[in-house]
Amino acid sequence: MVRVDPQQALYLEIPGYVPKEAAVLAPPARSDSRETPVLLPEFTASLWDWFLSKLSQPQIPSEVQP
């Protein structure tokens, strides 16, 4: 690329050409945003933790009805 004097540059107008719009990669920053938890407290245990808690609970036999 070389610098060109705008008076010497040749500009072409192409009929029907629509230039690309600027890409919006992220929403604008807001200063009034409140921090909300990403996960609810109910969903903070892993599957392994849940499984171990179920195994550690005493098993209560269910009554069988005739």
Does the predicted model carry a pTM greater than 0.85?
Answer: no
pLDDT value of residue 58:
79
Cα–Cα distance, 50 to 59 (Å, whole number): 16
pLDDT at 63 over 70: no
pLDDT value of residue 65:
59
Cα–Cα distance, 9 to 3 (Å, whole number): 10
pLDDT tens digits for range 4-53: 888 888 888 899 998 888 888 888 777 665 666 677 777 777 888 888 88
